[in-house]
Every structure is written in structure tokens, then in C-alpha cells.
Amino acid sequence: MSEALINRLVEFAESGNQQKIVLAGQNHQGWIMEITEEALLISTGYADKAGKDVWIQFTDLPQAELFYWDNKADQWTAFQL
């Protein structure tokens, strides 16, 4: 994975209070917990009371929509890789 993409994913993880990834009709809302060479881990414990961790492969990101919660605007804001 390119260093530039990893840097953008770190920026995404540090954006806003929470992150949301919409992929294949699934909504994953929570916090980015880990970024590896092949995937990122999002923990969805807040929105899903049972809580779960989901690995999103980098190869799936082109089909995904990324958002972060913008506290100043009080809304979800799109994030472009």
C-alpha cells in the first residue's frame, strides 16, 4: 500500500469525532482503531450496542463512501481519499 494512501487514512481516522464507512449497503459507524498494510479496523461499539470490529480491506475502499462527524457543522462530512 502506498505511503500516501496510508497517510490519507490516518488523516481520515483523526478527522471529526467519529467516522462512517458505507460499503455494499452496509453502514459502519464508529472509530478507526487500527490501520495495517492491507486494511483498516473500525470499531462500531457506539452505534451498535453489542459492538463489533470490522476490517475494511483497502481493495474495497474505491467502492466505499467515507464520512466523518464534523462537530463544528454538526453533520456528517464526506472525506475523499
Q: State residue 45's pLDDT score.
A: 72
Range of the domain at 39: 3-79
Nearest residue to 43 (alpha-carbon basis) of 20, 60, 15, 10: 20
pLDDT at 5 over 90: no
Q: State residue 3's pLDDT score.
A: 87
CB 59 within 8 A of CB 72: no
Number of domains observed in the structure of the chain: 1
Helix (H) or strand (E) holding 46: none
**Which CATH number do you get for residue 68?**
2.30.30.100
Q: pLDDT tens digits, residue range 8-58?
A: 999 999 998 899 999 999 999 999 999 998 999 999 876 556 778 999 999
pTM for the predicted model, two decimal places: 0.87
Q: What size, in residues, is the chain?
A: 81
